[in-house]
Amino acid sequence: MAQSNSVTAEQAALVLEFDRLFDAPRALVWLMFKEPEHMVRWHGPEGYALLSCDIDFRVGGKWRRCMSNGPGHAHWIRGEYLEIEEPSRLSFSYINEYDGFETVVTMDFVDEHGKTRMYFRQTPFISVEERDGHGWGWKSGFDVFDRYVAQFIDDDWSPKGRPRSDGVAEDIVAARRRAVESKREDENAHSTNDR
């Protein structure tokens, strides 16, 4: 029996869990995770910029991001959305591209009198050191998130300020949006001509 308890304790040590209270309504917090135009302005720990942000925000949709803390230090991560229950639950796989190691991140968002309590869980890690490194990254990133989301209280919730990547990711998002709009216009023109 002691062996079974020991395994459980070891497994528990390889789980990152914490909760955090954001001074923002749940719908606004949800928007910050859903929209790449917002994400490029807050995602990543202090001192990092998000250089690339691709999001297909649907169950089964893929996401991919590149964070950097200086020239030559690109950190690519990717995954797939596993659960999306707007605005209360978000779960996705999280894969470090440099080593292929995969975890699952689950965030539950609970309304607390106009504020949002987030319950965060990421598992499994291969070591306590790896878990603690991710813990530092997420908690530091949520410090950045707190400052960014504070700008939107009693506002229109439009993206504000420059992306932390000096505009590169925002330019990519805008170019993709223009390409999608152009494709829709072409499809509409073809359907009009077919009549």
Q: What is the DSSP string of 48-67?
A: -EEEEEEE--STT-EEEEEE
Q: In this structure, are residues 132 and 122 in contact, taking their beta carbons and an 8 Å threshold?
A: no
Q: What is the DSSP string of 86-136?
A: TTTEEEEEEEETTT--EEEEEEEEEEETTEEEEEEEEE--S-HHHHHHHHH
Secondary structure of residue 79 in the 3-state scheme: strand
The answer on pLDDT for 151 being more than 60 is: yes
Identify the pLDDT of residue 191: 58
The answer on pLDDT for 83 being more than 50 is: yes
Q: Indicate the DSSP class of residue 70.
A: S
- What token pair was written down for 123? 């598992």
For 44-73, the pLDDT digits (tens) are: 999 998 899 999 999 999 999 999 988 888
CA 2 to chain centre: 39
Q: What is the CATH number of domain 14-193?
A: 3.30.530.20
- Give 109's pLDDT tier (boundaries 50, 70, 90): very high
Indicate the domain borders of the chain. Answer: 14-193
